[in-house]
Each structure stands twice: as C-alpha cells, then as structure tokens.
Amino acid sequence: MSTLLTTLQTRLKQRAAYLRTKAELENMPLEVAIDLDLYKPDAARIASEAVYGR
C-alpha cells in the first residue's frame, strides 16, 4: 500500500510540474522564446520531455 501511495504522490507532483512548465512556456514573451529558439506551440512536448524525460 505504501508503494501505491508513493507512486501516486510522485505522479501528482510530476503532473503539477508539467502543467507549470507548459504554462510558463506558453506565456513567455515572444522575444524570449525567439532568443531561446523555442517554438511556442511545442510547449506541451517540451514540458513533457523536461518533466517526464520522454
């Protein structure tokens, strides 16, 4: 039971980190995105790779 709760807690933390990261990428000013060579519509993919490593 402890393993289940630990796994659930980890996944919830990852999901929260993913949502925060995605929101930050989507809301960054265009000039910053250009400087970082980021395409804003790729925010979901970039956030997923950053948080989940995929």
Q: What's the pLDDT tens digit per position in 2-50?
A: 999 999 999 999 999 999 999 999 999 999 999 999 999 999 999 999 9
What is the model's pTM? 0.87
Beta strands in the chain (DSSP E): none
Place of tokens 């790729």: 42
CA 50 from centre of chain: 6
Residue 54 clears pLDDT 80, i.e. is over it: no
Instruction: Find the helix packing angle between 43-52 and 2-27, rounded to 10°.
Output: 150
Q: Over 90: is that where the pLDDT of 1 sits?
A: no
What is the pLDDT, as a whole number, of residue 16?
98
